[in-house]
Homo-oligomer: A and B are copies of this chain.
Amino acid sequence: MQPRPSLEPNAGADGAPSPSESLDRVTTVGLILEVAAGLRRTINPIIEAELGVGSGDLEALIRLVRSPGERLRLSDLAAQTALTPSGLTRAVDRLAELRLVRRQGCPDDRRGAFAVMTPRGKQQMERVMRIHRHQLDDLFGNLLEPGEEEMVVNVLRRLRDRVNPDAARLSDSAEGGVSECEDQRGEDDA
């Protein structure tokens, strides 16, 4: 039996007895997971009621709406969200069902496909994003001092690049060739 199990934060048994390190990474990670779950649960009901989709699908829509031409390759979309390819396929299925996005085949690479916002999708998103922003303003309120959010985002971005290198790769070359692609189905139901 060890005199003190190295389970406590400041065990100091794993190498680096940093001076100002009064908190450990385990706690940090736990906090991130906890905040993410809380955010998800907070956001979900409102978006669900307004748009009929969950927060994961909303994330995909946001990335889509912010992309040039309001469209993105499915793999790129997967890399830029918290979704794996398989999860994304289902998400696009749901969004297409709701006529918010549409699949677009790409003749350049007949394996690949784009997800494109429909007019209806753009219109809905404009409405929902206002609500979403308002909700986040309420939630964050004046919780962050000026500059804090920048710093946190800065750190989070670096962290994201670590746990999801694909996203970094993408943001570098996201504005590549916007090649011409044909619609797989011409229905817009505007």
A156 at the interface (CB under 8 A from B): yes
Q: How far is it, in angstroms, between the C-alpha of A6 and the C-alpha of B125 when the chains are bound?
A: 9
Q: Which chain B residues border A125 with CB–CB below 8 Å?
A: 7
Question: B149 near A42 (CB under 8 angstroms)?
Answer: no
Of A25-33, A104-112, A172-180, the stretch lying at the interface with chain B is A25-33
- Residues 145-178 of A, flagged 1 when their CB comes within 8 A of B and 0 if not, give 0111111110111111011100100000000000
Give chain B nearest CB distance to A42 CB in angstroms: 5
Q: Is the CB of B160 within 8 A of A23?
A: no
Chain A contact patch, size range: 35 or more
| CB-based contact B137/A66 at 8 Å | no
The distance in angstroms between the C-alpha atoms of A14 and B131, with both chains bound, is 10
Residues in chain B near residue A129, CB distance under 8 A:
6-7, 26
A141 to B31, CA, bound (A): 18
Q: Could you tell me if A35 and B66 are in contact, using CB atoms closer than 8 angstroms?
A: no
Q: Tell me whether A65 is interfacial, beta carbon within 8 Å.
A: yes
Q: Does A40 contact B (CB under 8 A)?
A: yes
Which residues does chain B contribute within 8 Å of A41, judged by CB atoms?
84, 163
Determine if A86 is an interface residue (Cβ-Cβ < 8 Å).
no
Compute how far the CA of A100 lies from the CA of B79 in the bound complex, rounded to whole angstroms: 36
A81 neighbours in B (Cβ, 8 Å): 30, 34
Complex contact B32–A36 (CB within 8 A): yes
